[in-house]
């Protein structure tokens, strides 16, 4: 598969089949993804592959906290505290596409809550990857982690798998770290759903638009 084809095919999958993911595929993906570049070859990433009972324990704990009204606090601030254009409009349009594909109206608060809870279950994917970096590392390591994440997602396409990178899985870092036996010296950046896509699901049919390069690229010569 060409890289350009993998880039076009990759999308955030929000409905997965119950089919298990072969361990060999996960190992190949992570082994090759480790070739991603990092500043001074620091390779700051730490990845935990979660499935089965451990995945169930984590997702149930997060869902319970959410339903109890206890909003989690990520290890870092992901989104801006005040939204401005064009980001606010893009965010709104993204949400509208998601809920429209599911037939959930703007006033249907109950169904919107249930769809959000689906985040904590990794949308039914059998595997969730959790990505960590040591807290002593600086912002540059976040850039390195982004390159690893993209590599994982493109390699998953090559293996016939689908993914969904999820900051929602990092909303309750203490729950995740405790379940995985990890200390507080790690920053939980995000999770990622991994599995076989349910291609019949309506939520997997839409694609978010991308800005034309004229909007974000300047050429100087």
Nearest to 132 by CA among 191, 72, 194: 191
Per residue in 171-181, pLDDT tens?
999 999 999 99
Assigned domain for 46 exists: yes
* Cβ-based neighbour number of residue 146 at 10 Å: 15
Q: Is 80 helix (H, G, I), strand (E, B) or coil?
A: coil
Quote the number of domains for the chain.
1
Q: Is residue 38 part of a domain?
A: yes
Q: Rounded to an integer, what distance in angstroms lies between the CA atom of residue 84 and that of residue 88?
A: 5
Please give the pLDDT value at position 208. 96
Find the helix or strand (DSSP H, E) in which 99 lies: helix 87-101
pTM of the model: 0.96
What pLDDT shows up at residue 195?
98
Angle at 153 (CA atoms; ends 124, 201), nearest 5 degrees: 35
In a domain, 221, yes or no: no
Residue 74 belongs to some domain of the structure: yes
Strand (E) positions, 76-199? Answer: 127-134, 162-166, 186-195
CATH of the domain at 24: 3.40.109.10
HSE of 134, CA atoms in CB hemisphere, 13 A: 5
Which residue ranges of the chain lie beneath pLDDT 50?
A: none
Q: What is the pLDDT of residue 138?
A: 96
The DSSP bridge pattern shows strands 46-51 and 162-166 to be unpaired
Given phi > 0 = left and psi -120 to 50 = alpha, else beta, which region is 41?
A: left
159/149 Cα distance (integer angstroms): 15
For residue 66, give the H/E element and its range.
helix 52-67
Question: What residue numbers bound the domain in which 8 lies?
Answer: 3-215
What's the pLDDT at 173?
Answer: 98
Distance CA 205, CA 14 (A): 10
Is 145 contained in some domain? yes
The pLDDT, as a whole number, for residue 106 is 86
Q: Looking at residue 159, what is its pLDDT?
A: 98
How high is the pLDDT of residue 60? 98
User: For residue 68, what pLDDT is reported?
Assistant: 96
Q: Is residue 220 included in any domain, yes or no? A: no
């Amino acid at each position: 598969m060409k890289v350009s084809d993998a880039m076009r095919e990759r999308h955030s999958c929000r409905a997965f089949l119950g089919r298990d993911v072969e361990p060999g595929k996960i190992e190949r993906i992570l082994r090759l993804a480790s070739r991603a570049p990092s500043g001074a070859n620091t390779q700051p990433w730490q990845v935990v592959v979660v499935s089965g009972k451990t995945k169930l324990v984590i997702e149930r704990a997060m869902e319970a906290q959410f339903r109890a009204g206890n909003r989690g606090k990520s290890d870092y601030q992901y989104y801006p505290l005040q939204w401005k254009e064009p980001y606010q409009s893009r965010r709104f349009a993204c949400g509208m596409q998601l809920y429209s594909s599911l037939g959930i109206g703007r006033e249907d608060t109950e169904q919107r809550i249930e769809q959000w809870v689906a985040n904590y279950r990794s949308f039914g994917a059998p595997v969730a990857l959790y990505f960590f970096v040591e807290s002593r590392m600086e912002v540059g390591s976040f850039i390195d982690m982004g390159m690893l994440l993209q590599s994982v997602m493109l390699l998953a396409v090559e293996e016939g798998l689908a993914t969904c990178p999820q900051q929602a899985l990092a909303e309750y870092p203490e729950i995740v770290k405790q379940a995985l036996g990890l200390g507080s010296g790690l920053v939980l950046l995000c999770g990622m759903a991994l599995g076989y896509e349910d291609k019949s699901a309506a939520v997997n049919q839409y694609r978010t638009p991308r800005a034309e390069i004229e909007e974000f690229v300047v050429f100087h010569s």
